[in-house]
Structure 1
Amino acid sequence: MVSRSLRALPEPDPKPGNGHLQDWALAPLPLIEEGARRARAAGGDLFRLRLGLPAVVGFSPAWNRRLLTDLPTFVSAGSFSKIVPYLAGGIILTDAPAHGERRADLNPGFGKRHLERLRARTDAAFPGVPAEPFDALAWADGAVLRLLNAAYFSGEFDAHLLHAFLAPLRRPFPVPALPRPLLFARVGTELRRLADRRLQEGGDDLLAFLAPLPGGLTEARVSLAAAHDTTTHALAYALWHLAEHPEWHTIAGHAPALKETLRLFPPGWMGSRRLRRPVTWQGTELPRGTLALYSPYLSGRDPALWEAPGAFRPERWAARPPAWAYLPFGGGERLCLGMHLAQTLIHDVLAHMPPLRAVRGDPTPQPGLTLGPKGPLVVHSL
């Protein structure tokens, strides 16, 4: 069988002079939705993007599984994370075979048993709920900042510095990718100060676990940056959905409601790898160095996999989802390190929340480094 060139793949209409770069920067969701539509019409699950280098986006369970399990072929070095200083380091950019060993070192600190020990501290950091109508997006931003400070640093990290450090991640590109050497130096000094105290006095927060590990402070900085906006946006969307669908605002209803929120609006809406060696996928030859993308957003809304894919229906989670179609935390060996932390914090916040009523809001997804609502999302506690 003769392989086709990558150029034979379907693609959205490019713009003269810049291919898909302008649409990728300004309107990436319509761009990838059109690419997926054309790929399905051609009987495939892969489409091409012109981003200045060979790039493909796949959305089927088979593509997701291959990309997330064939670690020697699909590597993180050279992916999008490398161009964002906040994420360019630690476990995120560690590839096989070193990844498995490093992950084994980190897993205990982010596992359920250790997080349970932090619960009293994070519960104490809960900021309370305003009596008047409030923007769930802005409130979640501040709440998650407090909760992560409690989990990582027992609330001891300078709050103003922590806010300043994480704020650029909420801005559109290229803001998160700009170098900030002075800010990073200040954060590094604060991390070392707090880590030295843990090494001398002990402790049970996440920094106390990470500080003795080689490269532990880098892991603390990178995982903290990866956790904040993803958790904030998932929490904000969950609060909005529960305000619109109060029948799900129960302890039993929170789990399926959060899963449905993450299916519709996965904060990590696009993941990237680079091909270390050529791959033939369904008759198409993908050359070494190709940027290989997978999209939890597209997979979670694929009409071939989900009934009424755009509807908020938590009841669908009474059945198991299609394998490798629901990937808000990635999958395989590279499953998000902070998955249990994010889910624990969100579920604990939802358990604290009184009944809510949606007042007004704009939940339109706005893709940046993470996928969040355009906002505001004004809700009122009852």
Structure 2
Amino acid sequence: MRATRPVTAPGGVPLLGHLPALLTRPLAFLDTLPDCGDPVRVRVGPREMYVVSEPELVQRVLADRVAFDRTGPLYAKIRAFLGNGLASCPHADHRRLRRIVQPAFHRALLPHYAAAMTEKAAALTAGWRAGQVVDVTREAFRLTTAVAVRTLFSAGLPPRAAEELRAALDVLLRGLYLRVVLPAADLLPTPARRGYRRALATWHAGVAAIVADHRARGIDRGDVLALLLAARDEDGRPLDGRELADQVATLVLAGAETTSSALAWSLRLVAEHPDVERALHAELDAGPAGAPARWQDLPHLPYTARVISETLRLYPPAWAISRTTTRPTELGGARLPAGALVVCCLYLLQRRPELFPDPQRFDPDRFAGELPRGGYLPFGSGATKCLGDRFGLTEAALALATVAGRWRLRPAGPGPVRPVPRLVLSPGPQPMLLSERGGGPSRWSGPVSGPAG
């Protein structure tokens, strides 16, 4: 077939194109695109991007490292935030960096990491009280940040420093999405621009402090940072100072924001679906029985794992993965110029009805059987697939089991939660009312330490 120009999404306005929809109702706008074909041309002011959600096309874009690379203006903005880390570097740098970072996420290290996950989840939830209203999105981020810093860098983060890091990350993730759809945001002398720059400085200072603290202690505790410091590539080269800071920034983001989003969404979805909640509670009551969940409990918690997987299907943290064409390219019968921004929308991919019948329904039992090929990619695909997928799934399952084992949560605010599209698909603030399921704190008494088995 002769390649043609992609179909343009409907609803654009003169000069601005689809920018108003992307700023005010991005997910509702994206939901209209599959009916237009694949890829779909979306106009953002004078620029264009091409959205794909068919499994074959998504796999093609993510696997073809020659025609589609992590370059262009969008990745320049991401690297200003994360540096040239594993999640943002061009393909030319990726293989070397992946070989250095990969040993830190070996499966054999997971029981060690899981002990810290259990400890931190128990400590957080033990401070809750029946009748209290908590913002579970914020609480989830507090938990995953503490776990990330402890497991990756053997360090504790003072509460004030953790809150500063959380607040800076929130500003950056929202601000980065704005800069993707509205590049002029960096040119306007607005309070938002000044706030973004302050958050960027706070973020870089926080990352530098983590590295400096580790170097000052000078002890190899077998954590991820020690492995990164000792690692060498195939040519015997270590990471230099800038590369080390970039990897730390990437790992803090991946270890904190993405997992906290999955946990916050899962708590909300469980609360909104009584049948799922009953099944989850039944499994937990027969397993950890109200005590903090540990590594050795995970093989006995298949339904808990399915709840996390279904949450990631509906609300994948990495909801849109972009690439830039390095040369004129044909994709799905459409002709794309060199330098085109291609967006693989995993949010749309994982809601396609031909892959997942009744795709809007929250049904963890979808994951009791075989998944459609290429239809479930919450951690990406190919050589750039997230290295920390097992780490994140382990942490989310342990945290969900620990919370749901003791607490029942109910929404404290009116109306449904609206997804907040930014670099990670967040549920935004979620006030929820706590009630204790029974058994009381005595079932949680005693220290929580060390993986068993």
Alignment TM-score > 0.5, same fold: yes
The Cα shift of 1:374 comes to 3.8
Matched, 1:208 2:226: yes
Once the two structures are TM-superposed, the CA of residue 369 in structure 1 deviates from its matched residue by 1.9
Q: 1:20 maps to which residue?
A: 18
Paired AA for residue 392 in structure 2: A
String of CA shifts for 1:41-80, please: whole Å, max 9, x gaps: xxx3221111232310000100111011101211112263
Distance 2:307 2:73 in 1: 32
Query: What's the CA shift for 1:284?
Result: 1.3
Matched, 1:224 2:252: yes
* 1:128 pairs with one of 114, 117, 125: 125
How far has the Cα of 1:300 moved from its partner? 0.9
1:309-352 C-alpha deviation (Å, 9 max, x unpaired): 00011111122211211111111111112222211211121232
Is the counterpart of residue 363 in structure 1 residue 417 in structure 2?
A: yes
- Structure 1 Cα separation of the partners of residues 332 and 156 of structure 2: 53
1:65 pairs with one of 59, 66, 72: 59
Q: Is the 8 A contact 1:240 1:379 kept in 2?
A: no
Output aligned runs, 1:1-382, within 5 Å.
1-6=1-6, 9-37=7-35, 39=36, 44-51=37-44, 52-78=46-72, 80-84=74-78, 85-126=80-121, 127-129=124-126, 130-132=128-130, 133=132, 134-171=134-171, 173-174=174-175, 178-180=196-198, 182-197=201-216, 200-212=218-230, 213-214=238-239, 215-243=243-271, 244=273, 245-249=276-280, 250=283, 251-353=301-403, 354-360=405-411, 362-380=416-434, 381-382=436-437
Shift of 1:99: 1.7
- Give TM-score scaled by structure 1 length: 0.90
> Does 72-81 or 256-265 show the bigger shift?
72-81
Q: Structure 1 counterpart of 2:257, which letter?
A: D
Encode CA deviations 1:21-60: one digit per residue, 9 max, x unaligned. 22212221111111222x2xxxx32211112323100001
1:232-291 Cα distance to aligned partner (Å, 9 max, x none): 110011122333321342322111111111101111111111001121123211111000
Instruction: State the TM-score, normalized to the length of structure 2.
Output: 0.76
Distance across 2 between alignment mates of 1:231 and 1:123: 15
How far has the Cα of 1:112 moved from its partner? 2.1
User: How many residue pairs get matched?
Assistant: 374
Where 1:238 maps in the other structure, the secondary structure is helix
CA deviation map 1:123-145 (0-9, x unaligned): 22221242324332232122222
Q: Report the secondary structure of 2:215's partner residue.
A: helix
* Corresponding letter in the other structure for 2:255: A
CA distance in 2, matches of 1:204, 1:248: 38
Once residues 116 and 363 of structure 1 are traced to their aligned partners in structure 2, the CA distance between those partners, rounded to angstroms, is 34
The amino acid across from 2:418 in the alignment is: T
Question: Considering only aligned residues, what root-mean-square deviation do their CA atoms show, in Å?
Answer: 2.3
Report which stretch shifted further, 140-149 or 57-66: 140-149
Worse overlay, 253-262 or 144-153: 144-153
Q: Which moved more, 1:161-170 or 1:50-59?
A: 161-170
- The CA deviation at 1:225 is 1.9
User: Does the 8 Å CA contact 1:137/1:236 hold for their aligned counterparts?
Assistant: yes
Give the aligned residue type for 1:174: G
Residue identity in the other structure for 1:149 = V
Q: CA deviation at 1:377?
A: 4.7
Aligned equivalents of 1:320 and 1:182: distance in 2?
A: 46
The answer for unaligned runs of 5 or more in structure 2 is: 180-195, 231-237, 284-300, 438-453
Relative to structure 1, is the Cα distance of residues 374 and 12 closer, same or farther in structure 2, using a 3 angstrom cutoff? farther
Q: Which amino acid aligns with 2:333?
A: G
1:142/1:184 CA distance change after superposition, 3 Å = closer
| Distance in structure 2 (CA, Å) of the matches to 1:377 and 1:313 | 24
CA distance in 2, matches of 1:191, 1:138: 21
CA distance in 2, matches of 1:79, 1:64: 21
Aligned residues with identical type, % of pairs: 25
Change (3 A) 1:170 1:183: closer
- Determine helix, strand or coil for the equivalent of 1:373: coil
Change in Cα spacing, 1:189 to 1:369, as seen in structure 2 (3 Å) is closer
Q: State how far apart, in whole Å, the 2-side matches of 1:81 and 1:235 are.
A: 27
Aligned in 2, Cα 1:373/1:324: closer, same or farther, shift over 3 Å? same
Contact 1:150 1:156 (C-alpha < 8 Å) held by counterparts = yes
Q: How many Å apart are 1:5 and its aligned residue?
A: 2.3
Q: Per the alignment, do residues 160 and 209 of structure 1 end up closer, same or farther by CA in structure 2, a change over 3 Å counting?
A: farther
- C-alpha distance in 2, partners of 1:79/1:297? 23
Q: Distance in 2 between matches of 1:341 and 1:30?
A: 31
Unaligned residue ranges in structure 1 (runs of 5+): none
Residues in 2 aligned to 1:166 and 1:254: alpha-carbon distance in whole angstroms: 27
